[in-house]
Amino acid sequence: MQIRFWGTRGSIAAPGPNTARYGGNTSCVELRAPDGTLIVLDCGTGARELGLHLTRMANGPVRLYLFIGHTHWDHIQGFPFFVPAFLPSAELNIYAPLGFQRGLEEAMAGQMEYSYFPVKLRELRSRIHFTELDEGFFRVGDVLVETQYLNHTAPTIAYRMSCGGATIAYVTDHEPFWSAPGRPSQHPGDERHIEFLKGANLVIHDAQYTEEEYRSKIGWGHSSIDYAVDVAAAAGVERLVLFHHDPTHDDVAMDRIQEAARARARGGLDVLAAMEGVELAVRGTGGAPAVGEATALQHRPIAGGRVLVVSANETEVTAIEEVLAEDGLALLRLADMRAALTRGAELMPDLAIVDRELLDGDGGSALEAFRAALGRRNFPVVVLADTSVPADVVARGAASSTDYLPKPFSPPMLRARVRAWLARTLMAFDTRATELAGTVASRDDGQPTPVPPDARGRYVALLAQVPLFRSLSPEHRELLIAQASDQVFPAGHVIIRQGEPPNRLFVILGGRVRVLESAADSPAELLLGELGEGEILGELGVLRNQMRSATVVAVERTHCLVLHHGDFLRALQTSTDLAVSLLRMLAGRLYEADRRLSRYAPDPVTGLPSRRAFYDQYRRLAAVARRRKNGVLLLVFDVRELKAINDRYGYAVGDDVLRTVADALIEATRTTDLVARHGGDEFAVFLPDVGPSDVDGVLARARECVADLSAKRGLPLVPECDVGVASSLSAPETADDLLREADQDMNRRKAGG
């Protein structure tokens, strides 16, 4: 992989003769993978020169992936001056973590309001796609991208990118989790940070301050040079690039910093300070990296999360409450650890914040007992502590989900830390799903375990909130929960797997699931539908006494009450109310399935969206085009002489002709365009962000693709189509006006020969 630095400075640009060698622009790094994938890391003021360079060197349309560590101004302030964003032929895929209170697109647009800039984001001509990230992995081209939250005053993500055996980590902005002399890490968070960097060929790391400067800037969210060197050495990194230079560090100061860092480095670590214009080739000999278990592309909302605060300090609790309220989190309050041990489980928290003064000794045994009481071995706890955190807390193997935040805490730092932990919690740390899913709890003798007495009342109350069971008598509700349990499944967890025995059914108390069916002759899965709060799943397998016919996956964090199939059947056999309610529910699902099938079923011959689906999808695409104030194009294709083809060659050939035209139109257009079969011999193609000048190019590609596919498939003729064109600077609310204009244009073309 090839790296080039376009901006190396942090906080604010500092151009001038004293920073000419190391550079004065804020963060921007270009990365090119062997397969040609173009990646831009951050979009500070250095992005202006990069954008000009890309437009000069481009031989065709520009497609790039822009990864932003966070949306603080010095990391996005170059975007309004990034030339590719203004080009209709460019495609920008922008990735970043969700910021405080604002979505990614909103944050990027904020600096481009007319009060600050003459062009608004929605007026840019390029095709821009925004994706908010959490921790996990995904791929762009041949590059594996892994993400991990950093310790900063806003939600900030580090990127680890691997391709062809080489690995690069981009880590800015970041502050040590715990600052103490001696080893580089005395905190589980720092250990996790080192693990993320481990074995990288090149690490670009925040190193804004000298050690002396850092002491007066703790809580500002940046690293010292010493820390950057120490963690890179501990991770076995080959080369460290010091980055995010402080605006007060001129070239002379940077020379001293680079020499001091090299003197501190050990274990063969190569260190250099980033310079604008410097290019580095990164080669590696490692094999394919292990892929994580969670996708980073699925954003996991935290609003509504439950945070238990264990503290007797009223001032501290009030400050925490203000922090949590800004993200829509619910605060639960207990005064001491004894109350947490006895009442914590009934509050069902997602995370706890504990004052260390309430923990005995080093606190490890108390937190272990607390997690045991919750039944969650990896339950995340943020401990508010003074400087007396045990020096060997990591060496003793303290739980990786125990975090320490020094007092007095920085409110934005606490907020960012809580959000990071909740994102992980809602994804991976809720072990009840993984430990309990797949089996019904049982005693050593193999018999089902009865529900503990303290849970019975809660389960009965939960059932009473569900419409299906609301009319049941107390006796029938007691029967249903005889062997019940409640489980929380993180997003992406498989709740029911196709082919499993039907020994349980699930009542959704909160969250959402997706029902998928896989065919024996295809690796693809068919989406059957989604279910949400108040609905049940798995009942058909129980009623039919057959193996599961579909797979059910949690779309978001989903809380279920799990009922034993035998208890459900006994209640159904003895309760008319339950039987009637179940019939009504199943009839409603059947009606909805028929409605969806008639509305959204693809065309059976070509597999394209049908006429009705075209109208639905058009409305969504047109709304986006209107918001961006971009023009649109609609093309209508009529296959010539389809009836004559059917009469001469048979309907099988006629269907092949339709499939060939459909596939050619897909190949000739972009993935963001809409191609549909609008009638028997008619296709409609809707192209947002395209104008009349692009018509000839689209038609030429379509003709070429039709000819190529016809030859490959051995058709006895090359299909020809009559074409109608309609365009608009502002997409109409419905497609009818454009379709009418395209039909009129087609008739004019026919009349003109």
HEC string for 578-589: HHHHHHHHHHHH
> Domain range spanning residue 536?
453-600
C-beta separation of 137 from 291 below 8 A: yes
Would the pLDDT of 52 be above 60? yes
253 and 145 together in one domain: yes
- Predicted pLDDT of residue 399: 46
Q: What does the alpha-carbon distance between residue 515 and residue 648 come to, in Å, rounded to a whole number?
A: 44
Would the pLDDT of 15 be above 70? yes
Q: How many domains does the chain have?
A: 4
**Residue 291 falls within a domain, yes or no?**
no
pLDDT class for 531, splitting at 50, 70, 90? confident
**Residue 579 falls within a domain, yes or no?**
yes
91 and 221 together in one domain: yes
Q: Which residue has the higher pLDDT, 482 or 207?
A: 207
C-beta separation of 209 from 231 below 8 A: no
- Predicted pLDDT of residue 434: 35
Domain stop point among 227, 246, 281: 281
Domain stop point among 600, 627, 656: 600
- Predicted pLDDT of residue 436: 35
pTM: 0.59
**Residue 448 falls within a domain, yes or no?**
no
**Residue 195 falls within a domain, yes or no?**
yes
536 and 403 together in one domain: no
Walk across the sheet containing 157-163 and list its strands. 136-140, 143-149, 157-163, 166-171, 202-206, 239-243, 270-273
Token duo for residue 498? 């196709």
50 and 187 together in one domain: yes
- Would you call 353 helix, strand, or coil by DSSP? strand
For residue 648, which phi and psi values (nearest 5 degrees)? -85, -45
Q: What does the alpha-carbon distance between residue 394 and residue 185 come to, in Å, rounded to a whole number?
A: 8
For residue 387, CA distances in Å to 80, 380, 403, 404, 590 come to 44, 21, 14, 10, 62
Alpha carbon 227 to chain centroid distance? 30
pLDDT tens profile 461-515: 778 778 888 888 888 888 898 888 888 888 778 899 888 888 899 998 888 888 8
C-beta separation of 49 from 25 below 8 A: yes
Contacts of 558 (CB under 8 A, 6+ apart): 488, 489, 493, 495, 508, 510, 511, 512, 513
- Predicted pLDDT of residue 179: 67
458 and 333 together in one domain: no
232 and 272 together in one domain: yes
Domain stop point among 600, 627, 649: 600
**Residue 343 falls within a domain, yes or no?**
yes
pLDDT tens profile 171-189: 999 999 876 555 566 678 8
The domain that holds 700 is classified in CATH as: 3.30.70.270
573 and 715 together in one domain: no
Percent of the chain residues past pLDDT 90, beyond the cut? 40
pLDDT tens profile 667-715: 888 878 899 998 889 999 999 888 888 899 899 999 999 999 999 999 9
Contacts of 395 (CB under 8 A, 6+ apart): none
532 and 395 together in one domain: no
**Residue 462 falls within a domain, yes or no?**
yes
Q: Stretch 299-322: mean pLDDT, rounded?
A: 82
The domain that holds 251 is classified in CATH as: 3.60.15.10
87 and 220 together in one domain: yes
182 and 145 together in one domain: yes
Q: What does the alpha-carbon distance between residue 320 and residue 312 come to, in Å, rounded to a whole number?
A: 13
Q: What does the alpha-carbon distance between residue 63 and residue 92 come to, in Å, rounded to a whole number?
A: 6
532 and 415 together in one domain: no
**Residue 220 falls within a domain, yes or no?**
yes
The domain that holds 521 is classified in CATH as: 2.60.120.10
Percent of the chain residues past pLDDT 70, beyond the cut? 87
- Predicted pLDDT of residue 454: 53
Q: Which residue has the higher pLDDT, 129 or 29?
A: 29
The domain that holds 417 is classified in CATH as: 3.40.50.2300
Q: Stretch 727-751: mean pLDDT, rounded?
A: 90
321 and 465 together in one domain: no
Q: Stretch 646-658: mean pLDDT, rounded?
A: 92
- Predicted pLDDT of residue 239: 96
**Residue 49 falls within a domain, yes or no?**
yes
Would the pLDDT of 388 be above 60? no
Token duo for residue 144? 């594996």
